[in-house]
Structure 1
Amino acid sequence: MTGPFTVCKHDDGDGAVRLEVGGELDHDVSEALSLILINAAEQSGVRHVVVDLNAVPFLGSAGMRSLLTGRQVALRHGRTFIVSNPQANVLETLRAAGVAGILSPATETAAV
């Protein structure tokens, strides 16, 4: 991993929590990212979890697994889970893995 891994949590109102994630999402940070995403999805009063990847230059398989784990927990608790603002190479990684449509549906639809 190069550079720091950061997460800033924002309450966007109406039950929406936005997590601004920064840094490379690889094996080094995947466990911490999973725990953060699970925690956000399990918070009372949360209805929507949005993970903003604008500051993520690299998404590895372990980081993708963390996103999918966060989504699974959110859905189990009746919350929506969306990944937003992926950089082009991160979006391409999501597409190549076949998960862009479920993690970032607005971006995938706009790109079609």
Structure 2
Amino acid sequence: MTVEIASENLENGVIRIVLTGRLDMQGAQEIDMKFTALAATKAAPVIVDMSGVSFMASLGLRTLLSSAKAVAKRGGKMVIYSPQPNVIEVLKVSGVSNLIPIKDDLPSALAEVLS
């Protein structure tokens, strides 16, 4: 497996998803259904810890965008936090950063998603 996914429910009703590894074509395919199930099936705010993601391809972007849209349709919000510099660059160049807020750390991600 090129990418791992874990999740936890935080006290304030926020779902925290942690991604680790390479979110390349294979990695995105491996986690797509699980990520969507975690992020998009409840009307809850979602934060995505990307500190452990070392690479991101276009399929990974699609997974993030489709999940963010599904979260928004249910009245929630999705925020990405702690991406590595090369991943931030991909998120900015692709325009994802205009659609999904990106924060530096967990406290600022929580503040954003709960605002």
TM range (shorter): 0.7 to 0.9
Question: Considering only aligned residues, what root-mean-square deviation do their CA atoms show, in Å?
Answer: 1.9
Unaligned runs of 5+ in 1: 108-112
Per-residue CA distance 1:71-102 (angstroms, 9 max, x = gap): 11111111111111110000011111111132
Using the alignment, how far apart are the partners of 1:105 and 1:54 within structure 2? Answer: 12
Matches within 5 A, 1:1-112: 4-40=2-38, 41-43=40-42, 46-107=43-104
Residue 113 (structure 2) aligns with: none
Name the SS of the counterpart of 2:86 in structure 1.
Answer: helix
Name the SS of the counterpart of 1:13 in structure 2.
Answer: coil
For residue 14 of structure 1, report the CA deviation from its aligned partner. Answer: 1.8
TM-score of the aligned structures, taking structure 2 as reference length: 0.80
1:52 maps to a residue whose letter is: D
Distance 1:32 1:4, change over 3 A: closer
Per-residue CA distance 1:8-32 (angstroms, 9 max, x = gap): 1111122101011001111112233
Name the SS of the counterpart of 2:55 in structure 1.
Answer: coil
Using the alignment, how far apart are the partners of 1:10 and 1:51 within structure 2? Answer: 11
Name the SS of the counterpart of 2:34 in structure 1.
Answer: helix
Using the alignment, how far apart are the partners of 2:16 and 2:84 within structure 1? Answer: 17
Name the SS of the counterpart of 1:56 in structure 2.
Answer: strand
Residue 110 (structure 1) aligns with: none
Unaligned runs of 5+ in 2: 105-115
Distance 1:31 1:77, change over 3 A: farther
For residue 106 of structure 1, report the CA deviation from its aligned partner. Answer: 3.5
